[in-house]
Amino acid sequence: MSGTMSQITVTGVPGLPEISPGADLARLISDAAPGLRDGDIVVVTSKIISKAEGRVIRADRERAIDGETVRVVARRGPTRIAETRHGLVLAAAGVDSSNTAPGTVVLLPEDPDGSARRLRKGLAERHGVRVGVVITDTMGRPWRIGQTDAAIGAAGLTPLRDHRGQADTFGSPLEVTIAAVGDEIAAAADLVKEKTAQVPVAIVRGLARLVTEADGPGAAALIRPAAEDMFRLGAADVLQARRTVREFTADPVDSGAVRRAIAAALTAPAPHHSQPWRFAVLESPRARTALLDDMLAAWTADLRGDGFTPEQIARRTRRGEPLRRAPLIIVPCLVAEAAHPYPDQRRSAAERAMFLVAMGAAVQNLLVALAVDGLGSCWVSSTLFCPQVAAGSLGLPPGWEPMGAVGVGHPAAPPPPRPERDPGSFLMTL
């Protein structure tokens, strides 16, 4: 098409009534847009499809999100980015509580491509026209500020245009360009549809070349298969996200985040197929203060025994303060009951080392999972140096050996950049 001018128009369709379950959308849209022509693309906000299909339910929003979620992709505080059973990845699994009666939530259509096909058929029957249909929902994009509309359902439309193999203006072949025209149309229509006003439909005219005879693959074609998803695990960022944080805000720590972090800890490797990890979660200020005061007394006694002066002791013990400033303390504990007994010191020490390293792996998982949830942490040695005192103060069950303590909270400031480390200096290759 080079050298030719092309023009499209995007026109909002006002005048649709509030949509109720069972509404005949083809009729309502036909009435509101009597001038529909062959080759037009009818772009419809998914919310009215959901309303017509009875997908408005009276439910707790969080429960509804659970029900629509097959995989939580990312989470920060109360915000969940989740994959739905359609394979869509979007905030709150597409569950929406705006523009619906209080106490109700709107779920995405069961089968948005099916909805698009039905609407297309209905419009063809009424108008005798061959149009494309796009059903949209609003999504954020990773790495980009702001939301835009994307196609979650489509019929009679080429959703992707594959330019690979075509030549660019310099004659070089394009290698990776696949235009997501379904999403582009959805975004263009969003410019004229108004979320608060009653304009949930727009007509895009001038793209008849994208409108097909057959219903085609639908918007399902826009979903990237898991095997091709370079960011499925967010892998690179995850480990970098953990830094030792020693200054926290006073904001409380979400107990759900703590449970998720402990669940992550429980996936650590451990010897003999054992699960030697336990966690004391000190939610009450009283429990935290009692532990810290008891440990301070033990530490002070140790230092006095070493011959330090009171001033020197005061200076040293100030180092224990990250835990005092943390709104939550977790004491990871080792239960090494699965350790095999050996008659000799060498093998007993090796057996003990196995369990200790398994504990380190679990705590690292815990800290990383907390960081993924936006929480800072500081794992300090403290309880390791006074295990009996700590166990007594916490009332730990027999066999629970405290392995330091982890202060948890919202970081008061972003951590400094991590110094670069050259892996070459840390390894030997044989």
Ligand X SMILES: Cc1cc2nc3c(=O)[nH]c(=O)nc-3n(C[C@H](O)[C@H](O)[C@H](O)COP(=O)(O)O)c2cc1C
Is 98 a binding residue for ligand X by CB under 6 A? The answer is: no
Q: Which stretch binds ligand X (CB under 6 A): 36-44, 97-105, 239-247, 263-271?
A: 239-247
Q: Least distance from C-beta 322 to ligand X, angstroms?
A: 5
Residue 163 is a binding residue for ligand X (CB under 6 A): no
Residues 241-280 that bind ligand X (CB under 6 A): 243-244, 246
Number of residues binding to ligand X, judged by CB under 6 A = 9
> Whole-number minimum distance, CB 105 to ligand X, in Å?
41
In terms of CB distance, is 165 or 416 closer to ligand X?
Answer: 416
Cβ atoms of 140 and 91 within 8 Å: the answer is: yes
Nearest residue to 157 via CA among 199, 204, 226: 204
Residue with smaller CB distance to ligand X, 273 or 418: 418
The residue assigned the tokens 């007394």 is 297
Give, for 153, the enclosing helix (H) or strand (E). strand 144-155
Q: Looking at beta carbons only, is 91 or 412 nearer to ligand X? A: 412
Nearer to ligand X, 210 or 270 (CB): 270
Q: How far is the CB of 146 from ligand X (least distance, A)?
A: 32
d(CA 258, CA 237): 20
Q: Is 295 in the site for ligand X (CB under 6 A)?
A: no
Q: Cβ distance 403 to 333 under 8 Å? A: yes
- Least distance in Å: CB of 379 to ligand X? 5
Query: Residue 79 or residue 244: which is nearer to ligand X going by CB?
Result: 244
User: Closest CB to ligand X among 86 and 246?
Assistant: 246
- Here the tokens at position 427 are 């390894």
- In the bound state with ligand X, the residue whose beta carbon lies nearer, of 93 and 245, is 245
Beta strands of 259-348 (E only): which ranges? Answer: 277-282, 328-334
Q: Computed from CA positions of residues 239, 78, 66, 147, in that sequence, does the dihedral angle turn out positive or negative? A: negative
Q: Point out which residues pair with 257 in neighbouring strands.
A: none
Task: Name the β-bridge partners of 144.
Answer: 141
Cβ pair 279, 262 in contact under 8 A: yes
d(CA 204, CA 207): 7
Q: How far apart are CA 261 and CA 353, in angstroms?
A: 24
Print the binding letters for residues 165-204 with ligand X: x by CB under 6 A, - otherwise: ----------------------------------------
Question: Residue 189, Cβ neighbours under 10 Å: how many?
Answer: 28
Residues 354-413 that bind ligand X (CB under 6 A): 378-381, 404
Q: Which of 132, 159, 276, 322 binds ligand X (CB under 6 A)?
A: 322
Binding site for ligand X (CB under 6 A): 243-244, 246, 322, 378-381, 404
